Chain A
Amino acid sequence: MTTYVLRRIGVGIGLVLLVLTLIFLALHLVPGDPAMLLLSQGDGGSATPDAVARVREQLGLDQPLLTQYWQFLSGALTGDLGESFRNGQAVSEAIGERLPRTLELVGLATLIAVVVGVPWGALAARRGGWFDSVTSVLTSIGVALPVFVFGALLVLLFSLELGLLPAGGFTEWGDDPARHAQLLIMPAIALAVGFASTVARMTRSAVLEMLHQDWVRTARSLGLSRRTVFRKYVLRNSLNPVVTTVGIGVGTLLGSTVLVERVFSYPGLSSLLVDAVTARDYPVVQGVVITIAVLFVSINIIVDVLYGVLDPRVRR
């Protein structure tokens, strides 16, 4: 088991290093000069070549690419992600501010997805008939519906028509807990819809598969009630693939927050990334991508390890 875990961690570190190198190269190969951008915000400004050269020097962009890569790599390995080109804020500090917000959003969305998706899928498998058909249609829509479309519909209904919830923005929990919760609920639901649909579909097919197993028939023939069999054996055994789906889904969700954060003006990690990319704020882009890569890889390792615990065959 220890070897298995160590091997997975080793592969994970390799992956993060690869991502780190790729993002560095991609950023420097894509056209666009951060210095020029910094000096040419919006209309009316037109920076002189001298001024641009001065800013490039300040930002260290006049150094050879290899030197910049080494500085970035050695910094990242010691936990120093540099400072934002735009506002001089330490990248680790910016991530420290934004990451909890995104994790809160993703966490709530996951909770909604599991709490709604698992019972729904199980019920659909067990009841069958029209309920199953409706579930099938609804979850298809849920999976296919782009998250920003659903988000926009939520805003239209709950903010613009009914006036029940604020249309977007952010308030710290400590400043106003009620408003914080209000501002969190719509983005979380928007994010959860596709995820819940996937979880429901996965649960449904897993439960259906289990229901047709020989041991289910055996258990019933031994006189156990359908309900006991379902609760004790079918559902529990169906949850293994569901755990994997949820694990992978959480990773994917970290990427899906980009659009949700935009629609709801939610200042999380993804909106930081989008703004940093358009501003060619290299240190911030690199820092955020590394953070997401580490999270994604860690979640995968955890899922793999859990799987290894549940099913010793995968450890080989």
Chain B
Amino acid sequence: MRTSLTSRLRAAARPRTAALTAAAVASMTLAACGGGSGSSDDPGTLRFGLSAEPVTLTTGVWQGSATNFVLTLIHRGLMTLDEDGELVPGLAASVETPDPTTYVFTLHEGLTFSDGSPLTATNVKNSLEYYANPDNGSTLIAGLQDIASITADSDTQVTVTLEAPNNAFLEFLAVPTAAIVPDASLNAETPNIVGAGPFEIEEQNEGVGMTLAKFDGFYDAEDVALDEIDVAYYPDGDARANALVSGDVDMIDYVTWENFDRVGSTDGVELAAQPGPFQYVQFNVTDGPFADPLVREAVAYAINRDNALTAAFQSNGQPLEGVVTSDDPALEGLGDELWSYDPDRAKELLAEAGYPDGFSATLLATSQYTFLQDTALSVQQDLQAVGIDVTLDAPDWSGRLEKGAAGDYDLAVSGDVGIVTNPIYLLSFVQGPDNFNRSFGYANEEIAAALTEGLRATDDETRAAAYEEAFDLFATDVPFASIDTRDQAWAYSDDVEGFTNLSGFHTFFSGYTLANTSIER
């Protein structure tokens, strides 16, 4: 009875199993056939996996690296960066500097915005004036605050006069948020999507992605090889790496460090890594032990930078014993060795400051970015080793920002990047209103004055002397204690040609080089 029942059941089940198998085979076949769908084989289309969905673009405001990526594609400023990261004219065909405070920009002929309207010297004047006004939340104030006047000499010529020489001025004009935009975009409400860059936004699909099409009115349109960039959002680092490795996309930004080896060792895939942002310890100097520079210096000597690198970035970065300076030959060797790992020296400094037995402190990090939390854990160990008993506080990023801005911490681990490579980026760490990522309550007018002198210098000697003075003060007053620089990587299929990951802080502006990127399938 039992046997006959099972055999009957089997018989009954058989056709269904067969049907299921057929369905499975059919779906796999369908899958295999559909693998390379429609546009993906088009040599003019680059499929890009982006690490975040850009928020609504606001003119002039710094809105993070995903937004900057889009800005580098749809916008151009007077200046831009070439594939070697060199500063070159963008919308300006040429720049002349008859004296250190005068810049004459001659625009390319016949420039238009992607909405078809002409781009004139008046647009340049209005855009720059907008960015130079602190009320507009622009990130370029430090670079443009010296502007005395802007005049539109003709439709294609603009003269900018500065109150004092500023050797970072042109570099600020190459930042993606310094784009020249139509007058209608010069407010906080209008989405900043009309530009004069190599691409224009064709379609946006909330949460999914966006399509950018080549803009034929771009001044260098004949050199733009790509017809289209299909951007898909992959917020998860593993999912993004999977998309590239499996061939769903041709290129991704922000390869997470735990994926470096896997992506780098995949056949047919290039991993392009460059040192980018730097990590550091910031202090609350309003009261308590960290108001004393000796204690801050002790922290700088207590940090084992190699350990921090291993813990947070699988050693994909460089220990940083000072500050990041540009690769300007005039500044070579300056500021890069202010502190070293020397726990004995740290203990001596603590004793000198009156804390021979150490003390307790809170260390603010964030649970949202694992690398900052891992860095904090490493720093915690180092500080405990010299007698500072550290309690970790790791809220999510939003909580971290609020506590940082309110000074609700003793120590904090932070990551930051300069908008420009010129050392003037350090000014915001020693001057100006408090914010979440600088030492709370810290100000040093001497360092600020030396940095400003370096910015004003018109010859290399004066420049080097000014920065030497600034960095000497840095070493003993310790506005922040550096930890390391981390490698930022883009990765792409071998089919992609012409893209460069720009070095240093410029890594986030590497989207500029997509204007000269092609794809060979």
Binding site for B on A (CB under 8 A): 30-34, 36-52, 54, 86-89, 94, 97-98, 123, 126-127, 152, 155, 159-160, 163-170, 172, 176, 178-179, 181-182, 185, 226-227, 262-265, 267, 271-272, 275, 278-280
Contact = CB atoms under 8 A, between A and B. Distances in A.
Contacts of B134: 48
Contacts of B402: 31-33, 36
A163 to B, nearest CB: 7
Nearest to B39: A176
A141 to B, nearest CB: 21
A41 B399 contact: no
A262 B208 CA distance: 13
Contacts of B37: 176, 178-179
A94 to B, nearest CB: 7
Given A166-B243, A167-B245, A178-B30, 10 more contacts: A48-B137, A54-B137, A87-B206, A127-B9, A163-B247, A168-B239, A168-B248, A226-B5, A267-B208, A278-B368
Given A43-B416, A44-B417, A227-B5, A280 B67 contact: no
A168 B6 CA distance: 42
Given A31-B402, A36-B402, A36-B405, A46 B437 contact: yes
Contact of B31 (A34, A46, A50, A182): A182
A41 B62 contact: yes
A259 to B, nearest CB: 10
Contact of B246 (A45, A46, A159, A178): A159
B232 A182 contact: no
B354 interface: no
Contacts of A88: 56
A265 B243 CA distance: 10
B401 A262 contact: no
B438 interface: yes
Contacts, number: 182
A65 to B, nearest CB: 17
Interface residues of B, number: 71
Contacts of B433: 48-49
B248 A167 contact: yes
B31 A165 contact: yes
B329 interface: no
Nearest to A32: B398
The listed residue with most A CB atoms (<10 A of its CB), out of B33, B37, B434, is B37
A264 B239 contact: yes
Interface string B116-150: 00000000000000000011010100000000000
A46 B234 contact: no
B415 interface: yes
A226 to B, nearest CB: 6
Contacts of B419: 44
B242 to A, nearest CB: 4
Contacts of A33: 398, 401-402
Contacts of A32: 395-396, 398-399, 401-402
A263 to B, nearest CB: 6
B130 to A, nearest CB: 14
B356 interface: no
Contacts of A226: 1, 5
Given A43-B65, A167-B246, A265 B239 contact: yes
Contacts of A54: 137
A41 B246 contact: no
B185 to A, nearest CB: 15
A31 B416 contact: no
Given A87-B206, A178-B34, A182-B31, A278 B398 contact: yes
B31 A164 contact: yes
A271 B207 contact: yes
A45 B235 contact: no
Contacts of A89: 206
Interface in B29-64: 30-35, 37-38, 53, 55-56, 61-64
Nearest to A170: B208
A43 B277 contact: yes
Contact of A48 (B5, B236, B245, B435): B435
Contacts of B63: 41-42, 45
